[in-house]
A and B are shown apart, each in its own frame.
Chain A
Amino acid sequence: MLYAAVLIVVGLVLQVSVLARLGLPGAVPDLLLLVVVGMAMTYGPTAGCVIGFAAGLCADLAPPADHAAGRYAFVLCVAGYAAGLFASRNRQSALTPILVVVVLAALTTVLYAGVGALVGDTAARDVGLGHLMVTSVVYDAVLAPFVVPLVMAGARRTDPQPMLPII
């Protein structure tokens, strides 16, 4: 539990203070998604969706965020659940995290825009969703082999069974 909280905070801070300021063309590498995917693949879909919800809520509330709170929580909650489901049903190999991240990177971008559209935010149409989706998939796929196995290994070692009180 503590491990997950620390990783979420570190991941969020690194994402907004380092990765977002690199000025890469297109999307920003989604470190938070990688952290959520790594932990969901270790702990399973239930913990995955809770951790994703918590991480998303942090991202919704932490300073640069200006969108409606809960939007990113919704998206990452779905992503964590999907990643946990996928990992628990398939045999894991070295390529599995990359595959999961590629699918989820595209999914979260679309889902985020979709949730925004539901509540009346149509900015996604103007910035070019396709370009954002492609770049975010590429960046996250590049980062995934480094981040996801590291998060999974750390989770298994420090906190094998997360003590989630609600579960």
Chain B
Amino acid sequence: MRDTRRSRMILVLLLAISFALITVDIRGGRNSPVSHVRDWASAVFGPAEEATADAVDPIGRAIDAVRDAGSHEDEKKKLQQENARLRQELENIELDRNRVAELDRLLRVAAVGQYKIKPARVVAVGAAQSFSWTVTIDAGSGDGIKPDMTVVNGEGLVGRVTSVGPMTATVLLATDPGFSVGSRMAGSMEIGITTGQGDRPMKLSLLNGQAQVKTGDRLVTFGSQGGRPFVPGVPVGEVTEIRATPGALTKTVEVKPFVKFTSLDTVGVVVEPPRTDPRDAVLPPAPGQQQPPAPVAPAAATPATTPPASGKPQANGRPPKNEPTTGRD
């Protein structure tokens, strides 16, 4: 046993056998004698290995399950968060799409009417029980907003600015009972004054008692001196009902506003009036009636890039000529 010379001999012998085996195996390839031995070995070891694997597999799976439990919990939480985020995004897409459509319509109004507008969003709505119909928008004096500017959206006239803060402004809606706007019939050019009546439709008092009015006639603003508080040509509403007032010279006409005041979101404040009155070009094409092609002035329709300096329309903006002007009542 401790005879190192003998043991060395055995070692060298075994190593030589190993090398011989390696050589034979490699040289022989598939047909080497070693491959037969290999077959026997696999016949002996194969079943033993299989049985062992079968025996330890359940233990291994149990260990795996314990090891993975934490990461599964994490993954579940992560997926839940991602799911919630995606769902929220999906809902936001709907909202964004509506906003984009609204902004598109607003841009169209601005382009056709050649208004220079400052877009803003409604951030607060006054309580109806205060008997005043007002909203707060997220644009203020820093954005060039000044009191008595016209506020429009893609449908038409929203109201006018009453008070302005540095970041926000208050808008008196067209439905407020204290709101009046000089209006003109799109077809007959008759003028009158449209007044808000709260939740009820607006009321139009025509100056000419003999004017021919029919339901479906549409109204636009005819504008004020210097474009404030109202720029000309903004769609106001549509005549829904006509009543002759007994003993009065004027007819009372009910007007349904184009704007849906309950779902106001994106609005535009007209910071610079058009150089020329767009008349009824801003009105959307009436059903079954061909509208003349609207004059488009892209230069004037740059609402997003309006610098605050351009918020002084009355300084260089000329008031519309040959149009009767009226201050607010």
Contacts and interface: CB of A to CB of B under 8 A. Distances in A.
Interface stretch (B48-56, B153-161, B235-243, B290-298): B48-56
If over half of B's interface residues share one DSSP class (helix, strand or loop), that class is named, otherwise mixed; here it is helix
Given A44-B1, A47-B1, A71-B18, A17 B53 contact: yes
Interface of A: 9, 12-14, 16-18, 21-22, 43-47, 49-50, 53, 56-58, 60-63, 65, 68-71, 73-74, 77-78, 81, 84-85, 88, 115, 119-120, 166-167
A20 to B, nearest CB: 10
A67 to B, nearest CB: 9
Interface in B238-280: none
A120 B25 CA distance: 13
Contact of A70 (B19, B49, B52): B19
Given A44-B2, A49-B10, A71-B18, 7 more contacts: A17-B50, A50-B14, A61-B42, A63-B41, A70-B18, A73-B17, A77-B18
Contacts of A22: 60
A12 B245 CA distance: 110
Contacts of A115: 22
A46 B15 contact: no
Contacts of B52: 13-14, 17-18
27 contacts: A12-B45, A13-B52, A16-B49, A43-B1, A45-B7, A46-B6, A49-B14, A50-B10, A50-B14, A58-B45, A61-B34, A61-B38, A61-B45, A62-B42, A63-B41, A63-B45, A63-B49, A68-B25, A68-B26, A70-B18, A70-B19, A70-B22, A71-B18, A74-B18, A77-B11, A115-B22, A119-B22
Contacts of B41: 58, 61-63
A81 B7 contact: yes
Contacts of A74: 15, 18-19, 22
Interface of B: 1-4, 6-7, 10-11, 14-15, 17-23, 25-26, 34, 37-38, 40-42, 45-46, 48-50, 52-53, 56, 60
A167 B53 contact: no
B1 A46 contact: yes
A63 B18 contact: no
A167 B60 contact: no
Contact of B60 (A14, A21, A44): A21
Contacts of A68: 21-22, 25-26
A18 B25 contact: no
Contacts of B42: 61-63
Nearest to B42: A63
A57 B38 CA distance: 10
B1 A73 contact: no
A77 B49 contact: no
B26 A119 contact: yes
B148 to A, nearest CB: 75
B291 to A, nearest CB: 74
Contact of B25 (A16, A70, A166): A70
A62 B60 CA distance: 23
Contact of B7 (A21, A49, A70): A49
A167 B3 CA distance: 10
B14 A77 contact: yes
Contacts of B3: 46
A74 B18 CA distance: 5
A157 B129 CA distance: 100
Contacts of A69: 21-22, 25, 34, 37-38
A12 to B, nearest CB: 7
Contacts of A62: 41-42, 45, 49
A161 B158 CA distance: 107
Given A73-B18, A73-B21, A74-B19, A46 B10 contact: yes
Nearest to B56: A18
Nearest to B39: A61
A110 to B, nearest CB: 16
A126 B238 CA distance: 82
Residue from A47, A56, A81 having most chain B Cβ neighbours under 10 A? A81
Contacts of B4: 45, 85
A76 B95 CA distance: 73
A77 B15 contact: yes
Given A13-B48, A13-B49, A115-B22, A70 B2 contact: no
Contacts of B34: 61, 69
A61 B35 CA distance: 9
Contacts of A43: 1
